[in-house]
């Protein structure tokens, strides 16, 4: 497969700290498994960069990143030092723009966000309800509510009208729904391999090993809600082994709390997926352990982008106390993704995941520094 090249964009806030630990783990894994892996750093802290150059990232950022196989991003969104009297606050609509630009520019049309309560992770739900959370939320990442069409008419006047258009295409709907069903099969197969099973009922009373739940708000946002539902029903016929389910987004939020174990793969639109994944993340241990994988599964020449779901947390940045766990989980996911072309990467990714999970299970409750956690995971990898 040749040498794989990763672009590392640590970003700002706690980004550089957590990325540093990810890089240490990558170094250990590269040496241990003789991985054909190289990386380059792009230090573009959005706030500082904007202050100097008037843009949150260089305008040719996407061109600079285009030739990498993957992008590993720390975090973006630190508005700048708030206690500096000459402070220069960058609104997050600017500092976070590169995220959306990468997703669009590299057609990363899938956003995969697994939620599973790892032993040692924080539980917010009573009665061990969170224990059996094991879902993969697949967020449509290329259109829908995020097309940035709209504007402000008579801006600032009492007669102002602000509009925002949601645009959904059948093509993008079909590919994300089909992707969801494929993932359901892959997950069921992986569970069987591990000797685990789950069972989901179909409407006609059969029992399946896996399930896809489609999310809409079709009782209020009818047009795309109906299209989503129709596409889902059509494609589901190709997957008789996968149970199907439909939830309205508001009811889904409730059920994530009440019966999170009832979900396997969840397919949602861009905004509804954004909301549901934050909720799923917190229910399964908090942002500290949630990875976000922005994937282009169709075009091998386009880089996919991997980021922890957490933000730049400026309030704790620079103190060395950020938890790198989500970043390590994210890095493991990236390696698994690269493993599609080079199995050694997949092995390394699985090893990183196992090390991080073992470390979390053993030390979840302890107060440790970012560096200490990184060191503990590195030591496990060295073994």
Ligand X SMILES: CC(C)[C@H](C(=O)O)[C@@H](O)C(=O)O
The site partner of 221 among a second copy, ligand X, none (C-beta below 5 to 8 Å per kind) is: a second copy
Q: Which phi and psi (to 5°) does residue 197 adopt? A: -135, 155
- Residue in 51, 89, 119, 170 binding a second copy, rule: CB under 8 A: 170
Of 100 and 316, which has the nearer Cβ to ligand X?
A: 100
Binding site for ligand X (CB under 6 A): 96, 99-100, 219-220, 250, 274, 292
- Collapsing DSSP to helix, strand or coil, 266 comes out as strand
Cα dihedral across residues 23, 111, 201, 280: positive or negative: positive
CB of 225 to ligand X, least distance (A): 11
Opening angle at CA 50, ends 275 and 61, nearest 5: 75
**Partner from a second copy, ligand X, none binding residue 179, C-beta < 5-8 Å depending on class:** none
Number of residues binding to a second copy, judged by CB under 8 A: 62
Smaller CB separation from a second copy, 40 or 93:
93
Residues 211 and 200 sit within 8 Å (Cβ to Cβ): yes
Q: Does 124 bind a second copy (CB under 8 A)?
A: yes
- Give least dist CB 313 to ligand X, A: 13
Q: Using the rule CB under 8 A, is 164 a contact of a second copy?
A: yes
Q: Which of 278, 293, 297, 272 is nearest to 178 (CA)?
A: 297
Rounded to an integer, what distance in angstroms lies between the CA atom of residue 307 and that of residue 25?
Answer: 16
What minimum distance in Å lies between the beta carbon of 99 and ligand X?
5
- Select 59 or 219, whichever has its Cβ closest to ligand X: 219
Q: Segment near a second copy (CB under 8 A), from 58-66, 188-196, 277-285, 369-377?
A: 277-285
Residue 275: which of a second copy, ligand X, none does it interact with, CB under 5 to 8 A by kind? a second copy
Across the strands, what pairs with 234?
Answer: none
Residue 59 makes contact with a second copy by CB under 8 A:
no
Report the alpha-carbon distance of residue 27 to residue 202 in Å, rounded: 46
- x-marked contacts with a second copy along 126-145 as a string, rule CB under 8 A: x--x---------------x
- How far is the C-alpha of 9 from the C-alpha of 307, rounded, in Å? 10
CA angle 25, 290, 305 (to 5 degrees): 70
Task: Answer yes or no: are the C-beta atoms of 302 and 106 closer than 8 Å.
Answer: yes
Min CB(290)–ligand X separation in Å: 10
Question: What is the C-alpha R_g of the chain?
Answer: 21
Site string for a second copy, 190-229 (x = CB under 8 A): ---------------------------xxxxxxxxxxx--
Distance CA 303, CA 336 (A): 14
Q: List beta partners, residue 140.
A: 110
Cβ proximity to a second copy: between 16 and 285 the closer is 285
Q: Which is nearer to a second copy, 86 or 219 (CB)?
A: 219
Instruction: Closer to a second copy by CB, 314 or 349: give it.
Output: 314
Residues 120 and 360: beta-carbon distance below 8 Å: yes
Distance CA 17, CA 250 (A): 36
Please say whether the beta carbons of 44 and 61 come within 8 A.
yes
Which of 104/198 has CB closer to a second copy? Answer: 104
Which is nearer to a second copy, 161 or 361 (by Cβ)? 161
Binding site for a second copy (CB under 8 A): 92-93, 96, 100, 123-126, 129, 145-146, 148, 150-152, 155-171, 217-227, 230, 249-251, 253-254, 257-258, 271, 274-275, 277-279, 281-283, 286-287
């Amino acid at each position: 497969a040749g040498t794989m090249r990763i672009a590392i964009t640590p970003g700002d806030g706690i980004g550089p700290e957590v990325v540093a630990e990810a890089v240490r783990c990558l170094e250990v894994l590269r040496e241990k498994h003789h991985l054909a892996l190289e990386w380059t750093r792009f230090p573009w802290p959005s706030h500082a960069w904007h202050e100097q150059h008037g843009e949150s990232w260089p305008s040719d950022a996407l061109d600079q990143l285009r030739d990498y196989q993957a992008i590993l991003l720390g975090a973006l969104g630190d508005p700048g030092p708030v206690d500096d009297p000459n402070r220069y606050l960058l609104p997050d609509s600017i500092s976070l723009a590169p995220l959306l630009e990468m997703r669009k520019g590299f057609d990363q049309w899938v956003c995969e966000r697994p939620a599973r309560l790892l032993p040692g992770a924080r539980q917010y739900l009573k009665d061990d309800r969170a224990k059996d959370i094991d879902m993969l939320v697949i967020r449509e990442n290329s259109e829908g509510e995020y097309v940035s069409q709209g504007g402000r008419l008579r801006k600032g006047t009492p007669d102002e009208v602000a509009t925002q258009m949601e645009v959904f295409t059948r093509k993008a709907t079909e590919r994300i729904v089909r992707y969801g069903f494929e993932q359901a099969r892959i997950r069921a197969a992986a569970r069987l391999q591990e000797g685990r099973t789950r069972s989901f009922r179909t409407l006609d009373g059969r029992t399946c090993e896996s399930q896809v739940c489609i999310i809409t708000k079709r009782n209020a946002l009818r047009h795309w809600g109906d299209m989503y539902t129709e596409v889902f029903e059509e494609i589901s016929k190709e997957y008789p082994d996968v149970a199907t389910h439909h939830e309205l987004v508001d009811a889904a939020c409730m059920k994530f709390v009440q019966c999170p174990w009832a979900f396997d793969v969840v397919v949602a639109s861009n905004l509804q997926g954004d909301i549901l994944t934050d909720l799923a993340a917190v229910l399964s241990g908090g942002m500290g352990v949630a990875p976000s994988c922005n994937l282009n599964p169709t075009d091998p020449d386009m880089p996919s982008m991997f980021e922890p779901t957490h933000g730049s947390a400026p309030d704790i940045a620079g103190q060395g106390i950020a938890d790198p766990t989500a970043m390590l989980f994210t890095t493991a996911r990236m390696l698994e993704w690269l493993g599609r072309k080079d199995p050694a990467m997949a092995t390394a990714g699985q090893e990183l995941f196992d090390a991080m999970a073992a470390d979390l299970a053993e030390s979840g409750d302890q107060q440790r520094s970012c560096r200490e956690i990184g060191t503990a995971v590195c030591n496990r990898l060295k073994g």
